[in-house]
Chains A and B, each alone.
Chain A
Amino acid sequence: MNINKTKWMIFGVAVIVAGCATYPDQATTKLMAEKMVYDAFTFAPEHKKRLDQDRSQQICSKIGDAKLTNEEAAEVVKLARASIKYPASGNLVGNWKEGDKLAHNGAGDRIRNGKVEKRKENGALCQNCHALAPGEINVGNVGPSLTGYGKQRGNSEAIAKYTYEKIYNAWVVFPCSNMPRLGATGHLTPEQITHMVAFLIDPQSPINK
């Protein structure tokens, strides 16, 4: 190999190195971004789980317009099904008045300056995203309206069970939907969820007026 040729090769390599800046591939991106997550937060050891993704969250973090495959959707549903626990009492329909309060409570468990917001219990966050009682103004629209939920569906045992499971782990019905898996992630207790069920299906509840 003559000197001239070597020179050109070195030049060529330099051009490729300088000229090939481009988007990193998926695996590299994931590696970099995951490191960023753990570098970015200060957290007590018991709060690391708020950053760690479980299998379902990994599947449900599709980028852009990427779609869930049928296999992925089935896996998320299966994991959701396995996650559901029922209240010790066995009674899935609690007190709608308690549920009403919880539905309008968006607080609990937020962390600021290392301190966890301690309340008697976590709010159920419903009002943030769902229309609730008829005429109620201060409600979000990220999720579907729940106005008349029980009026439309009745309050049979089957509906109570469906509703309980949907709140406990929404992904059992709609894999990867926007709705938090409120029971499965531990945000709400099974007992709290029975109150939410009552709020939704009890004919006396403002939702059904």
Chain B
Amino acid sequence: MEIMRGAGFTAGVMLLVTLSLPAAAQNDLSVGRKMLVEDNPGELWIDQGKDLYYQKRGPKKASLEQCDFGMGPGKLEGAAARLPRYFADTDRVEDLESRLLTCMSTLQGFDKNEVAKKAISSPRSRGSDIEALALFITSKSNGMKVNVTLSHQKEYDAYKAGEYLFYRRSGQTDFSCDQCHGEANKRIRLQDLLHMTSAAGAQEVASTWPAYRGAHYVVRTMQWRLNDCVWQMRLPDLKYGTDYSIALTTFLNRRGNDAVIQVPGFKR
């Protein structure tokens, strides 16, 4: 207990120190963050997701073991590393979260809209089923390289649409993703912004979600990240699991190929 407290205290001090040194923020903050990652509370969600995966649930009282995440039903190792990808049964490119929605409705009989409504949990809650499931399934790709390939026409379409959307400016802030994520070493206030048009930045996107979000005390998914961005951009409410999100994720993950997946990530 004392040791943990000590570690937490040191990490806290590290963060405080770095908060007052913006010039050196880059390096010192990353040291502080690394210390936090070593004790990532998000680990707790992996078991929760595992339970949800094997439990017989929903009106059809089925587990998710027959869900095909792209490598065949029940084959989870390395599956998340190749998402988003085209699925013949839905004739659509799906990312992990939209694929989970598909399986939860077709295999388990859940109402898609109901699941989507609860997909993003409240801060300080126990988290949503999808958040835990997405983390469990992605954790089965830990240590493996992101490998999004484009072969089906709809995969090419999603990639290009994602690229277009990344640069599409609208609304009263005139923002697209590129205004904040198009250059290296940028910050919003003290918050570091990922340089997503560089390989390293895209790789961090592709390999660190789902992540434990310190400020919210819950595990967050890529879809949550996108939702929060469009909220700041002053766009209307982004629905869960749309082609818009899937296209952006296809664009970013594809550019993030070769990153080694390590989830849960840790975000401030």
Contact partner of B236 (CB less than 8 A), chosen from A30, A41, A137, is A41
Cα–Cα, bound, A129→B232 (Å): 14
A41 in contact with B190 (CB, 8 Å) = no
Cα–Cα, bound, A157→B171 (Å): 31
Taking the complex as formed, is B27 at the interface, i.e. its CB lies under 8 A from any CB of chain A?
Answer: no
Taking the complex as formed, is B243 at the interface, i.e. its CB lies under 8 A from any CB of chain A?
Answer: yes
A40 in contact with B238 (CB, 8 Å) = yes
Residues A128 and B172 in contact in the complex (CB < 8 Å), given A33-B165, A137-B19? no
Within 8 A of A (CB), among B28-63: none
Shortest beta-carbon distance from A80 to chain B in Å: 11
Taking the complex as formed, is B234 at the interface, i.e. its CB lies under 8 A from any CB of chain A?
Answer: yes
**A21 nearest CB neighbor, chain B only:** B153
Q: Which residues of A contact B160 (CB under 8 A)?
A: 23-24, 29, 32-33
Shortest beta-carbon distance from A168 to chain B in Å: 13
Q: Which residues of A contact B172 (CB under 8 A)?
A: 50, 109, 180, 185-187
Shortest beta-carbon distance from B172 to chain A in Å: 4
Within 8 A of B (CB), among A126-152: 127-129, 137-142
Taking the complex as formed, is A53 at the interface, i.e. its CB lies under 8 A from any CB of chain B?
Answer: yes
Provide the B215-252 mask, 1 if CB < 8 A to any CB of A, else 0. 00000000000000011101111110011110100000
Within 8 A of A (CB), among B153-196: 153, 155-157, 159-161, 163-165, 167-176, 179-180, 183, 185-191, 193
How many residues of chain A are within 8 Å of chain B by beta carbon?
A: 51
Shortest beta-carbon distance from A3 to chain B in Å: 31
Residues A57 and B152 in contact in the complex (CB < 8 Å), given A33-B247, A37-B165, A51-B235? no
Cα–Cα, bound, A60→B168 (Å): 8
Q: Which residues of A contact B159 (CB under 8 A)?
A: 23
Cα–Cα, bound, A129→B238 (Å): 25
Q: Which residues of A contact B173 (CB under 8 A)?
A: 125, 180, 185, 187
Within 8 A of B (CB), among A20-40: 21-24, 28-30, 32-33, 36-37, 39-40
Q: Which residues of B contact A138 (CB under 8 A)?
A: 19, 189-190
Contact partner of B247 (CB less than 8 A), chosen from A36, A51, A179, is A36
Residues A50 and B161 in contact in the complex (CB < 8 Å), given A40-B242, A57-B174? no
Contact partner of B188 (CB less than 8 A), chosen from A51, A57, A114, A142, is A142
B239 in contact with A110 (CB, 8 Å) = no
Cα–Cα, bound, A40→B229 (Å): 14
B237 in contact with A41 (CB, 8 Å) = yes
Residues A39 and B152 in contact in the complex (CB < 8 Å), given A23-B160, A24-B157, A50-B235? no
Contact partner of B169 (CB less than 8 A), chosen from A22, A36, A57, A127, is A57
Contact partner of A140 (CB less than 8 A), chosen from B152, B155, B189, B237, is B189
Q: Which residues of A contact B170 (CB under 8 A)?
A: 50-53, 57
Shortest beta-carbon distance from B183 to chain A in Å: 8
Cα–Cα, bound, A138→B232 (Å): 18
Cα–Cα, bound, A35→B31 (Å): 43
**B180 nearest CB neighbor, chain A only:** A142
Cα–Cα, bound, A72→B155 (Å): 32
Taking the complex as formed, is A90 at the interface, i.e. its CB lies under 8 A from any CB of chain B?
Answer: no
Chain B CB within 10 Å — which of A64, A114, A139, A140 has the most? Answer: A140
Q: Which residues of B contact A125 (CB under 8 A)?
A: 173
Known A40-B242, A180-B172; 13 more pairs at CB < 8 Å: A21-B153, A41-B235, A50-B236, A51-B236, A53-B170, A61-B169, A63-B164, A112-B231, A137-B22, A142-B188, A180-B173, A180-B175, A187-B234
> What are 8 inter-chain pairs, A to B, with CB distance below 8 A?
A64-B167, A109-B172, A111-B237, A113-B237, A125-B173, A180-B175, A185-B172, A187-B172
